Chains A and B, each alone.
Chain A
C-alpha cells in the first residue's frame, strides 16, 4: 500500500531539461521509478535520456502518457504558473521541489487550488519516496531530490518539513533494521499544499504503516494541530522532533517558514504540546529512530 505514490505511479517532471531537474529525473529513473514524461516549453518532441518523451505542455504530457503525478523543478519565478498548469491538466499529485517562491504567489496558488482535485506537496520540499523491494530499495517511487539508496521498504511513515532531517531519520531507521512505508517532505515554506495533519491522517489509514516519525521546526502551528488531532484519532505510535530550540526570535532560519513569531511557535512550546498529546519527543536529532522504537515497543 504505502501512501500517495507506489511503484505503479506514472511520473512526469516539469523542468526536466534544467540541470537540477535533469539530474534528479535521471536518479529517479535509476531508482526504478516510472518516469513517463518530461515538460519543458519549447523542447517538445525531444527525448530525455533517449527514452522519455518531452512535451511543451503538461496537458499534452498527461494525454499522451497518462501521467498522474508531477515533480516541479522550474525556477521560483515560474513555479506558481507550473503548479497551476499541472492542476489544470488534472494531475492528481503535484510535488513542487522549487525553493524561493514568493509568498504572495503561493497565497494565490493555494486559493486557486481550493476546489481542485489535485493535491500539492511542497513547495521547497525534498519530495516523496515509497521505497521498493529491490536492493537499496530499488524499484520504488522516488519523486524529488531525496537519496533513494538510504531507504528500505518497511512499516514506518516519515513526515517532515526539512529534507536533511528526513534523510537523517530514514538513515537511522534503515541502520537499525526498520524500513519505511512512505517518506513525505512537506516543505519549509510558510504556505504549503499539504500539512503534517493531512499526512498523519493518510498514515493512520494506511495498513502498511505501523508507526510514524513526525519532524517539525519553529514557526507556524502545523505540528501542534497535527499533535492535537493525533491525540484523539491516531492509533499508531508517533515519535516527534522539533528543530530550532536555539534559534533567535524573529530571524528566518534558512527555511522561509522557520521563524519564531510568538510564544506558541517556539521549539520548546511545540515539544511540550507534542509530549502532552502522547507523542514521544526525541531530545536530539541523533535519537529520532531510537525514540520511535522505544515508543513502538521494539
Chain B
C-alpha cells in the first residue's frame, strides 16, 4: 500500500522526523488560506499523486509542472486552480495520468547538502538495513550502478534494535559532525522507530537535506507498508486512496481476491499464486499476452469465483479467458458452479477455455458440459494455453 506525500508528512510529524512545514488543500481558496499562514518564507506548491516525476510532468489542460515555487497567497490560489481536479501526467503515471484532488503548500527550503536515507527489510539477512549515501537528490539506482562505494549499509539486529554505535558509524561514513550529526542521529532513531512501529516494508527519504540555518530535514518521503500487517494499523489503512488504484484491483480486493491488472488480452483465473504466475507465463510462451494475475486462493467460494469472473469480463481489453485449476483439496465443482452462475448473469461474449484437474474433477467437468455454455475444455496447462491463444488470434 502507498500513501501521499502529505500523509507521509503526517507520519513524520507524529514520530518527530523533522520535515518542512506543510499544509494540504483541496480547493484554491484553501490553498490561499494555507499560504497566508506562512510568514515571509518562500513556498512551494505540490500536486498530490502516487507517482514520481511530478516536477517535470504536465497537466492535460496544458499547465506545466506538478511542483512550483510560489511567492504569494494569490499565486497559491491561481496555481491550485490549475492543478486541482486536473489530470497530471508524469513518467510514472502512464499516458492516462492521475487526477489531482489535493495540493500541498510547503516551506521551500534552501539546501546546503543533499543525502539519501532509507530503511528496508533485507531478505537475505532477514534484518532491517539502513541505506545511506552522500549522493542524495538523484536516482539511488544510478548511484549504486556508477559509484557503488558511495552506498553505505548498516544492518540492524531485529531483537536489539538500532544501537548508538551504529548511528555513530553512519555519521562518520556520511562525514557528519557536531550539531548536524546530533540532529541526524535523533532523526534516524525516530525514523527507525517509525519503520518498526508502522510495519513498513520500506521508508525512503530522498533527499535528506542540511540547510544554511543548520537544520537536518526530510524533504521527500516514500513509504511501502507490509500488507500482511495492515490488520493492526487502522490508522494507515485510513490513508488508503482508492482513486489512485486500478479500479479492477479495488473491486477484487473487496472479495479478497488476489488480482493484478496487466495490459494483455487473455484473462486468467487460477488457484494458487505460483500456478497463477506460471499460467501467465505459459500464455506468453504460446504467443499470447496475459490481461491479469488472478489467484482465487485454495478455499474460494462459489461467490468469489463468480465475482472474479465478472471483474475479468468487465475489462474491455479481454478477448478470451483461460481458467486453470489444480484442485488439490479444493473442489473442482465449486469452481465449475461459480463459473456457470457468473456466465448465466453476464453472458459469455468471448471464448472460454477451462482446464480442471484434481479433487472431484469429474463432477466439475459434468457441471460445465451440462450447462449448455460454449466452453472449450483442455487436457493440461499447455493444451489450455494453446487453445486460448488460438481462439483470440
Contacts and interface: CB of A to CB of B under 8 A. Distances in A.
Contacts of B158: 107-108, 110-111
B162 interface: no
B373 interface: no
Interface string A249-276: 0011111111000000001000000000
Q: Which of B274, B275, B381 has the most CB of A within 10 A?
A: B274
A253 B277 contact: yes
A150 B327 CA distance: 11
Nearest to B120: A261
B110 interface: no
A39 interface: no
Contacts of A257: 123
Contact of A101 (B228, B284, B285): B228
Contacts of B126: 106-107, 110-111, 191
A72 B238 CA distance: 31
Nearest to A252: B227
Contact of A164 (B128, B228, B272, B293): B272
B276 A253 contact: yes
Given A102-B226, A163-B298, A243-B278, A108 B159 contact: yes
A27 B329 contact: yes
B275 A168 contact: yes
B257 to A, nearest CB: 10
B390 interface: no
Nearest to B233: A102
A112 interface: yes
A252 B258 CA distance: 10
A206 B102 CA distance: 62
Interface residues of A, number: 61
A215 B274 CA distance: 9
Contacts of A160: 274
Interface string A146-172: 110010000000001111111110010
Given A107-B121, A147-B359, A258-B277, A248 B260 contact: yes
B231 A77 contact: yes
Contacts of B231: 76-77
Interface in B48-88: none
B320 interface: no
A35 to B, nearest CB: 17
A258 B273 contact: yes
Contacts of B290: 246
Q: Which of B124, B232, B326, B381 has the most CB of A within 10 A?
A: B326
Given A163-B328, A284-B382, A218 B124 contact: no
A234 interface: no
Contacts of B121: 103, 107, 190-191
A223 interface: no
A245 interface: yes
Given A164-B328, A246-B290, A221 B124 contact: yes
A4 interface: no
B277 A146 contact: no
A154 B231 CA distance: 43
Contact of B328 (A167, A221, A244, A247): A167
Interface SS, B side: mixed
Contacts of A166: 274
A288 to B, nearest CB: 10
A188 B273 contact: yes
A27 B329 CA distance: 10
Contacts of A258: 273-274, 277
A112 B276 contact: no
A196 B124 CA distance: 13
A99 to B, nearest CB: 8
B273 A247 contact: no
Contacts of A218: 277
B381 A244 contact: no
A162 B228 contact: no
Interface string A111-133: 11000000000000000000000
Given A165-B278, A217-B277, A243-B277, A100 B228 contact: yes
A286 interface: yes
Contacts of B226: 102-104, 256
Interface string B273-312: 1111110111111000010010100110000000000000
Nearest to B384: A286
Contact of B229 (A103, A161, A215): A103
Nearest to A185: B274
A256 B227 contact: yes
B298 A145 contact: yes
B180 to A, nearest CB: 30
15 contacts: A103-B226, A104-B199, A111-B158, A162-B272, A163-B272, A165-B275, A188-B274, A190-B121, A243-B281, A245-B284, A246-B281, A248-B262, A252-B227, A253-B293, A267-B281
Given A168-B278, A191-B126, A243-B274, 14 more contacts: A101-B228, A103-B228, A104-B196, A107-B158, A162-B273, A163-B274, A164-B272, A165-B272, A165-B274, A165-B278, A221-B123, A253-B293, A284-B278, A284-B281
Interface of A: 20, 24, 27, 76-77, 100-108, 110-112, 145-147, 150, 160-168, 171, 188, 190-191, 215, 217-221, 241, 243-248, 251-258, 267, 283-287
